[in-house]
Structure 1
């Protein structure tokens, strides 16, 4: 074999070897790709069909007219979608605006923490040092620190300053400060946790006083703008919602025996505590910021240490940090959350930092005694973390059906009592006066309960003081039942008293 032939054979062998090596390397890379990448894609994949079924079932069980949900994982929005319709019957999308209520508090807290990190505010300095017009008549008020306002341990409570029931409502932060000057604290600052919106109204006033910007301007420039929350805004009073109806924000709803009823939000001053309007796509960016140590697209809005401080409870017994509630999941992992309550809108958000997950759900129906709104967000987090949500028989539909049955029974019993007045009259002749008096007192029992509803709610609600209009919108079926029962009891007692007097006159006339 000559040299040229040997060279050709050698070159063919070299090509074959190169091809074999290339094939081997390709297979190796493909194997490595399959080994590592699927785990990452599995992390990114979410059970969309399961989420859809879960939300739609929960909406049906609880008579929710519309909601939107967004889910984030670290710095990525992995799910966002709207369900149901607005009060104008427009389909809800991930860009439909909702009032987010007390979810606003964490934004106010971030604004304050930004000023802290800028060296303009000291958390442990009295807020009166930053707001010259805050000169409380109660000397303890002058010692309330910025941190105590953030943690709801200021001593200001609904019982001493019922911000939801005050008439007329304030129209500016300055007016709030002037009214607070006359308040006597419920307890010494730092002693007790009492959730109160006014704490965050004072903090909004602090932001204005230190930054020399209005509160909405500060939020837009330092938070909404950097986070690209382009469909988010802040209002001072719920009356401003009405000016948005039709061209931006739709009316929310309250639930009357399970039927959504579109209604205007009762007047309430909400600046700093509950004044934001946003979308789930915008709120998802907010969750991303929380999960990424204060960073969003290389914009550092707050240091990681600052975010950690906001997510740390001031006291394990109450679990409240700075604009966030902190607790543990069933398997002991950290859970950071907050709810937002209005009478025609509701909002829930959850952060699971160990899993890098965030969930926000915004509703166009408001606080209702029979709807567990939190279960929507917690159930979604369970779907995403292999902790299946638990079904409950006590859904709004079942509870409202139960109230309807109770109301019907109450009406029938009232009609029965009216129809048997003659029999009662015969029994009266054999009863002593003190027994008759006791029967009247017992018959009027629904009236006592109806009159006491605000106090009962304040007692079982941790000292929150609600307006009568708000109480009705929160539990209309219960209020209607009590009102019907009270009216029936009054009519029955009046007729019985009338018959008693008539019988007494007859007896006297026969003597």
Structure 2
């Protein structure tokens, strides 16, 4: 395993393949988080090295040349659940009772990377899947690994509906509907204000809360969270987590801000007159 290293993403960027995020059924090239990494997120490896790593686990701690690297008891201890945890060991997790065949797994993801490794004790097979893409609403690496395991068992992999695409398209439809209704609200701001010109000031501004509350929350998510202490993420990183959802939130934020400002403006102008 001479090519597996522990490096920060910015140092390893030149050696990594282009990362992608998914949106509306398409893949978009995207940059990874610059500094936020931990555990498997900081290990840069290759398919060949992952094969050697997993073969050591399926060969009772010996490498491909028969040399012992770890004792069998130490490997078994790493798989065993920790006190207070029914399934999680030293970086490894045991599959649920409904997962057949039983497997020992570890997975991880960054903003444009997803990985899954599975060991199947009953057959001696092990699978590693490393993807240069990330989808918030679906664990593609896990599903691919599960499909390969089914093939090793002589079974046909399950073909599932493209749920990430369906969810994103639904969010896209909601975004368009909200945008349409929001533009109508912007154009009718003066009329809305005139209909409530006799309302007391407190009541008038309380009626703005349905717009103000989402604006405050989304503004906190986009502009405050990325600037918290020891947080290297940016607004772009937040968008990359789930582009379809973030676009919807951005539209809600912009519409809410514009509607609120216009309604306050017409209220102030009305009071002056």
CA distance in 2, matches of 1:408, 1:331: 40
Kindly tell me: are residues 258 and 393 of structure 1, through their superposed partners in 2, closer, same or farther at Cα, counting changes over 3 Å? Answer: closer
Task: Say whether 1:378 aligns with 2:149.
Answer: no
Q: Is the contact made by 1:251 and 1:262 (CA closer than 8 Å) also made in structure 2?
A: yes
> Could you list the per-position Cα deviations for residues 453-499 of structure 1 after superposition, in whole angstroms to 9, with x for gaps in the alignment?
48xx9xxxxxxx88345432111221221122111111111111111
| 2:233 aligned to which of 446, 463, 467 | 467
1:404 corresponds to which residue?
Answer: 172
Task: Say whether 1:279 aligns with 2:50.
Answer: no
2:228 corresponds to which residue?
Answer: none
| 1:328 aligned to which of 75, 84, 96 | 96
Q: CA RMSD in A?
A: 2.7
Following superposition, the deviation at residue 321 of structure 1 comes to 1.3
CA distance in 2, matches of 1:377, 1:475: 23
| 1:238 aligned to which of 3, 6, 9 | 9
Q: Following superposition of structure 1 onto structure 2, how do residues 25-36 of structure 1 map, counting pairs within 5 Å? A: none
Task: Say whether 1:421 aligns with 2:152.
Answer: no
Q: Is the contact made by 1:449 and 1:482 (CA closer than 8 Å) also made in structure 2?
A: no
> Could you list the per-position Cα deviations for residues 296-325 of structure 1 after superposition, in whole angstroms to 9, with x for gaps in the alignment?
231211111111111111136352212212
Q: Is the contact made by 1:236 and 1:270 (CA closer than 8 Å) also made in structure 2?
A: no
Task: Say whether 1:313 aligns with 2:84.
Answer: no
Q: How many residues align?
A: 263
Task: Say whether 1:369 aligns with 2:136.
Answer: yes
TM-score, length basis structure 1? 0.47
CA distance in 1, matches of 2:38, 2:167: 35
2:33 corresponds to which residue?
Answer: 266
CA distance in 1, matches of 2:43, 2:55: 18
Following superposition, the deviation at residue 256 of structure 1 comes to 4.0
Q: Is the contact made by 2:168 and 2:245 (CA closer than 8 Å) also made in structure 1?
A: no
> Counterpart of 2:21 in 1: which secondary structure?
strand
Following superposition, the deviation at residue 444 of structure 1 comes to 1.9
1:221 corresponds to which residue?
Answer: none
CA distance in 2, matches of 1:337, 1:402: 32
CA distance in 1, matches of 2:213, 2:177: 17
| 1:480 aligned to which of 204, 229, 247 | 247
> Structure 1 unaligned runs (5+)?
1-223, 225-229, 458-464, 507-511
Q: Following superposition of structure 1 onto structure 2, how do residues 60-75 of structure 1 map, counting pairs within 5 Å? A: none
1:5 corresponds to which residue?
Answer: none
| Structure of greater Rg | 1
Task: Identify which range, 384-393 or 492-501, moves more after superposition.
Answer: 384-393
TM-score, length basis structure 2? 0.84
1:504 corresponds to which residue?
Answer: 271
CA distance in 1, matches of 2:184, 2:198: 21
CA distance in 2, matches of 1:388, 1:435: 63
